Structure 1
Amino acid sequence: MVTSIPATLTDRAGRQLNVHRAWPRDGGRLTFEATDTDGGQIRAGTIEADGVVRLSPFAEDPVLSGLPGAAALGQLLVHRYKRRAVVRDDAGFTKLLAPGKAEGVAVAHRLMRTLAYPSGVVVPDVVVQHQDSVTLTAVHGTSLHELGRGSTAGGHGDGAGSRDGDAPSERPGHGGWTGSWDDAGAPAGGLTGLGSWDGAGTWEKAWQQWAQRWPRLAVAQEGVEKDSIALPAHTARDECRTVARWVNQVQEFEALPVESVRLQRASAQVARLLISGAPQQAVLSHRDLHDKQLLFNRDSGAIGLIDCDTVAVAEPALDLANLLVHVDFRRAQGVYSAAAARTAEQAILTAAAAMGVSDARLRAYAAATKLRLACLYAFRPQHQALAHRWFEDLETDLSGAAAA
């Protein structure tokens, strides 16, 4: 029996909840996160292999013992059942974590903050660390995700409460990203303006600042080697395994209406792209870089970087492609206008040129990211149709690459 993900639920008190994301677990089970449509409270729970739904009371979790107390003093923002939760309060942001995870998260943030300082990228500091939680300072600024939301026709306000784009979807473009390279190896055209959008100047400035500072941050890992501080490595083969795991999970849960042979073929084609090319020298990597992890301070012009739990050393194309594909996905979701997406894409290509990233490596990691996102969003009810179209577009791209 395949476990399905309901778009809505009703709790015992009769309150309706919208399920906005789910995660596969072993044994055909799923965990999910939902939002109370009345009060906006985050709720979490499980869906068993037999389809039985178990909804946890607000801010209760048998593994995250500190969650009830933290949520009583702040605002619960994220709750991934038995894995992690995030609470915002006066001290900053507290991450409640499964046993044994807090130390690694605190070490990663302290290291990234130290390395990021010379580049001008602001990373949250660790306020306090406990056995099962880490509290981090707030980074001042607006996320690039929220900053770009106003670029679409009609606008989206400040985007408060957005969860990975609740905006309407449109068909994603082929190729994952657009833009040409001039004879010098830099993106042609430079950064473009956005016409009548009021935030166009801020949007362009934010991406210009990011493009200048990101290459400086990436090479900061050279100091790590000198100080003999070990950072985990994430290689192209590791990326292949990550993608293959997501593909297998989508196949197991039949989350995408795609035959297994097509899923496995796409996974194999992505693996060939990643493994066949010559890897570039590894640099400092965030490993989950997207527009919600980057903030822009309009007053100071500073770029902020959050959620540094998975810091590692990897090819520079890993982070750049992840960000590039997320920008295109936001356009497909209707979060960014086409013009806003072009500005962001050109900034990312500028950074790629400054870091000597080849077109081939960027395309290989972009294909991996696109397949992974199609699988990830297949477990989010409001985006399953888009995830399906996204996969089909990638399939077309991969067929073209194979023919070439």
Structure 2
Amino acid sequence: MNPGEPPVQWRRVWPRRSGDPAAGLVLEGTDAGGRVVAGTADATGAPVRLRTEDPRLPALSGVVGSVVGHRWGKRAVVRRPDRFVKLATARATRTALDRRATLSAALSGRDGAPDLVDVLRAGEDVLELRPVAGTGLTALLAGGDTAACVRAGRRTARATTALAACGADLPEHDDEAEAAVLTRWVTDAEAFGTAPRALRRAAGTALEALRRSRPGPSVPTHRDLHDGQVLLGSRVTFLDVDTAALADPALDVANLLAHLDLAAARGHRAQARAVAEGLWRGWGEHGHPAAGDPARVAALRAVARCRIVAVHSFRGLPPGTAEELLSPCGGADPVLGW
């Protein structure tokens, strides 16, 4: 920080431009008053620079409310009493609206389908979203009782199965694209010096297993489904469907399990195991197309675990977390593979 600026606890970090360490980093944190702030850091080791304005998100300066997320130069979320305001570039906003409209139409009236957040108003670079009541899956993982976690897993499994069956016409995301995402993150982590020593080898092993596995017919997927995207109220709501795509049926399944691995490694092992038990039970009950292909799920889950380590290497991982996530999937535990 610069002299005279209030202290900030930085909690999330991204490369400012992938593949270009010289461009520095983008950071998000909270100040002493609990307010979310954005910053940037260059490659010279100079203090982090607070960013109070965002030229790529000009509408942010005119929104009244509490900023709850701000990735400088890319997106921000502001909470108001009756809505959330999501700001992004015009292109990203159009994409989000298009994906949401396509999914909403395909999911309408389908039994067990997830809800999507209602759009109250859309502008060129702004979406105003209706708040949704419920408990986040992340909160349950952090302290929920195991019976509630099993129920949450079963409900989430039903919603993912309905999504996979809805027939929405979305852009394709294949194995090559999934491999490219992991490769980019691993390369960035190495370039910025944050990568654990075992990451490159583990990623290579995971990608080789992915190449050897056989993909299933593409179905609609969330594509970024993890515990932070699932809200459990009177219905199950999926957040942030901006990257929804046609992909392998195992993609959402594997990504959810990999994030449960992360929750377990952070100390919430009983809750993670209970959610996973509910997920597998629900996927079997409702006939999710990936439920009968554990080898394919394991291959994509290993890719997701490596990506999680690469992403979180910029933010700091508790001791032993990277080693646990980079170990081979499929150990003694019949649910999560420990």
TM normalised by structure 1 equals 0.74
1:16 counterpart residue number? 7
Is residue 2:138 matched to residue 1:148? no
Task: Tell me which moved more, 126-135 or 264-273.
Answer: 264-273
When residues 47 and 283 of structure 1 are mapped into structure 2, their CA distance, relative to the original with a 3 A threshold, is same
2:264 counterpart residue number? 331
Decide whether the 8 Å contact of 1:109 with 1:125 is kept in 2: no
The one-letter amino acid of 2:172's match is: A
Query: Secondary structure at the residue paired with 2:191?
Result: helix
Residue segments in structure 2 that go unaligned for 5+ positions in a row: 332-338
Task: Tell me which moved more, 284-293 or 262-271.
Answer: 262-271
2:44 counterpart residue number? 50
Is residue 2:78 matched to residue 1:87? yes
Decide whether the 8 Å contact of 2:150 with 2:277 is kept in 1: no
2:279 counterpart residue number? 348
2:251 counterpart residue number? 318
Q: Give distance in 2, aligned partners of 1:88 and 1:237.
A: 37
1:376 to partner: Cα distance: 0.6
1:186 counterpart residue number? none
Q: Give distance in 1, aligned partners of 2:318 and 2:305.
A: 14
Decide whether the 8 Å contact of 2:217 with 2:248 is kept in 1: yes
Is residue 2:25 matched to residue 1:30? yes
Q: Give distance in 1, aligned partners of 2:243 and 2:157.
A: 21
When residues 366 and 396 of structure 1 are mapped into structure 2, their CA distance, relative to the original with a 3 A threshold, is closer
The one-letter amino acid of 2:295's match is: A
Is residue 2:212 matched to residue 1:273? no
Decide whether the 8 Å contact of 2:261 with 2:325 is kept in 1: no
Query: Secondary structure at the residue paired with 1:56?
Result: strand
Cα displacement string for residues 35-61 of structure 1 (whole angstroms, at most 9, x for unaligned residues): 11x211111111112122342344x21
1:242 counterpart residue number? 181
What fraction of aligned residue pairs are identical, expressed as a percent? Answer: 30
Alignment of 1:380-395 (within 5 A): 380-381=315-316, 383=317, 385-390=319-324, 392-394=326-328
Is residue 2:101 matched to residue 1:110? yes
Q: Give distance in 2, aligned partners of 1:314 and 1:395.
A: 22
Q: Give distance in 2, aligned partners of 1:331 and 1:265.
A: 23
Of the candidates 304, 310, 317, which is equivalent to residue 375 of structure 1? Answer: 310
Structure number with greater Rg is 1
Residue segments in structure 1 that go unaligned for 5+ positions in a row: 1-9, 152-196, 225-229, 398-404
The one-letter amino acid of 1:332's match is: A
1:264 to partner: Cα distance: 3.5
How many residues are treated as equivalent by the alignment? 321
When residues 264 and 256 of structure 1 are mapped into structure 2, their CA distance, relative to the original with a 3 A threshold, is closer
The one-letter amino acid of 1:376's match is: V
Decide whether the 8 Å contact of 2:114 with 2:162 is kept in 1: no
1:159 counterpart residue number? none
Is residue 2:32 matched to residue 1:67? no
Of the candidates 151, 163, 168, which is equivalent to residue 205 of structure 1? Answer: 151
1:206 to partner: Cα distance: 2.3
Cα displacement string for residues 88-129 of structure 1 (whole angstroms, at most 9, x for unaligned residues): 113422111124221111111222233333233211122211
1:391 to partner: Cα distance: 5.1
When residues 54 and 99 of structure 1 are mapped into structure 2, their CA distance, relative to the original with a 3 A threshold, is farther
1:175 counterpart residue number? none
Decide whether the 8 Å contact of 1:370 with 1:390 is kept in 2: no
TM normalised by structure 2 equals 0.88
1:390 to partner: Cα distance: 3.7
When residues 396 and 24 of structure 1 are mapped into structure 2, their CA distance, relative to the original with a 3 A threshold, is farther
Q: Give distance in 2, aligned partners of 1:284 and 1:124.
A: 18
Q: Give distance in 2, aligned partners of 1:110 and 1:350.
A: 30
